Each structure stands twice: as structure tokens, then as C-alpha cells.
Amino acid sequence: MQDLLEIAVCDDSNFDRFVISEMIDCYFKDKSFKYHVTEYCNEITLIDDIEESNRYDIIFLDIYLNSLLGIEVAKKLRTGGYNGKIVFLTASDKYAVESYDVDAAGYLLKPHNYEKFCGLMNRLLIGRRKNSIIVKKRSSVEYISYDHIRYIESSNTKCLIHCSDGNVHTIYTRLDLIENDINDKRFLRCHRSFLVNLYYVRSMHDNFIMDNDEIVLVRKKSIKDIRDMYLNYHFNAVHADRTTDSTGV
């Protein structure tokens, strides 16, 4: 997981850029996230920068820009391989339906409402706390450490987090987004519906056999590559353990 959250704000209105940037600062004021905001007054520079680095985790994008609609900008970004979160900013909900075509993460209406902004940010940042996934309960938030996750399973519009203590937690997001957020060599996308923690894998045949005898499916067409990654992980883990034992560290 990245230590720094990169955010872009693209709006041709100086005032609206200022408002969004101020709300971002207020939102993170009492949180432990490290973040950086880059402002854009035109869409062309934004597109060029993303084509060059693709570094932004979240883009706040005005619908009505200088030469292109925000929807068209988002289509160009998606076509170019950008897979971060896009939030549209607009005074009208005219393009709300079209926003789903570019996998928009949110749609904020102007004038901006800070409470709605915070609710959106809470949803966008699920999984962004270092080495943990955030699970929202009815009246609380729980942080599930990567160390305690056996595997994550996609199930329709939600994902099931299977933990080492036997508990299963539900979050409403896509497995692709969780995989993108997790940057940990223990986790392997072994199937369209499964992201597995190799630390808890006991053995592998056609599929993974977990330490509690559960079976995690392996994508058949990639089974050789997945087996190699599994063996490499365990070889490196054993080698690391032996090195630690010999040095006494």
C-alpha cells in the first residue's frame, strides 16, 4: 500500500478548486494519512500528466471543463489505462448515469456539502489504512490487519474477508479495487473471485489448500505461473527464516 495518497483536483473554476482542496485538508486534519493535492485548471495538462506517470489515487474532475466534458476526459483516462478513483464535480446530475460507464467512484453536486464529501471520502479510503482493510459496521469501523486475512472472496457486489480467527467480514466493493490497494507480496490474485494470503496456504495441487483445510480456487489457465509464484514466496520465506536464525536477529 502506498504511504502517500496522491489526489488531483481538476476544475476550471479557481473558487471550486479552492473549496475542494480546503475540504480535503479539513478531512485529513485528524487522520494519519499522508496525502498530496495537485490542482489543475485545465484537462489537457491533467491527461498529459497521467499518461506520463499514472500516479493519482483519486481525481476530482469537473464535468464542465474548457474544451472537453469531464465524462470525455474520464473516458480518455480509462482508455489510457488509468485505474484510480474518479469523482465528478458538477452543479447538475445530468451526467450521473453516464458516469457509470467510466466506473466513477462518486458524483458530488455543487455547491459542495462537507458532510457528503466526508461520507464519500470514507468510502473511497476503505482499505487505505496502512497494512489493514477498513470494515464499516453499523455504528463503528473495524481495521482488519493483513496479517489476519486468509483470503478475500468476491461475491456479487461485495467481498468476503476470511480471517484467521474464523470470522468473515463483508465489505461492499470490488475485488479489483482491493487488489489495487493492497501492496503486499503475501497476497496473490489466483482466481477471478479470490485474492489469497500465501502465508496461510498449506499446499497446492489443482487449487490452494489453506491451513484450516479450506480450498481457494486457482485460475486454470495460469496454474503454472501461480504455482511458481507460490513456490517462490515460500522459498524466500524459508530462506529469510534461516537467515534470521543464523544471525540471531
Q: What angle do CA 30, 33, 34 make, to 5 degrees?
A: 120
Measuring CA to CA, how many Å separate 192 from each of 93, 164, 205, 236? 33, 22, 18, 26
Cα dist. 30→2, 25, 35, 120, 127 in Å?
A: 19, 10, 13, 17, 18
Each residue's pLDDT tens digit in the chain (249 positions)?
A: 345 789 999 999 999 999 999 999 999 887 767 789 999 999 999 999 998 887 898 999 999 888 888 889 999 999 988 888 999 998 877 766 666 678 888 889 989 999 999 989 988 886 556 678 877 766 556 778 899 999 999 998 899 999 999 999 998 888 998 898 887 889 999 999 999 999 999 999 999 999 999 999 999 999 999 999 999 998 887 655 544 444 444
CB atoms within 10 A of CB 249: 6
| Separation of alpha carbons 104 and 124, rounded Å | 11
pTM: 0.54
